[in-house]
């Protein structure tokens, strides 16, 4: 079995340890930032759904639109010249 001090004293090309701690902290920060952005996205979607539901609920409470005074100009009025021939627009 080898001693850990001898392993650390021997330089290796495939495992540089000089910036290991900095790389670990960088990866931790990136992971935390991505989790934080995920939470912000979830809160934004939830807020949009809540605002939409409230807006739709208030839309149901508002009175229906009254019929327009220019309703005679619609196709449903039957005043088209083609209405006499039985052709509805």
Model confidence, pTM: 0.48
- pLDDT tens track for 42-76: 999 999 999 999 988 887 777 777 776 776 666 66
pLDDT value of residue 62: 76
CA–CA separation, 89 and 75 (whole Å): 6
Q: Are 15 and 8 in contact (CB under 8 A)?
A: no
For the chain, the structural domain boundaries read 19-60
Q: Which residues, including other chains, have CB under 8 Å from residue 80's CB and lie 6 or more apart?
A: 87, 88, 89
| Gap between the terminal Cα atoms of the chain | 94
Q: Are 34 and 42 in contact (CB under 8 A)?
A: no
Asked if the model's pLDDT at residue 1 lies above 60, the reply is: no
- pLDDT tens track for 26-39: 999 999 999 999 99
Higher pLDDT, 84 or 42: 42
Higher pLDDT, 42 or 8: 42
């Amino acid at each position: 079995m080898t001693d850990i001090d001898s392993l650390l004293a021997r330089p290796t090309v495939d495992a540089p340890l000089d910036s290991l701690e900095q790389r670990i902290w960088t990866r931790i920060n990136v992971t935390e930032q991505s989790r934080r952005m995920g939470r912000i996205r979830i809160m934004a979607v939830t807020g949009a759904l809540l605002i939409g539901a409230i807006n739709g609920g208030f839309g149901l409470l508002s009175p229906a639109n009254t019929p327009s005074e220019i309703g005679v100009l619609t196709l449903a009025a039957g005043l088209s010249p083609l209405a006499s021939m039985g052709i509805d627009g």
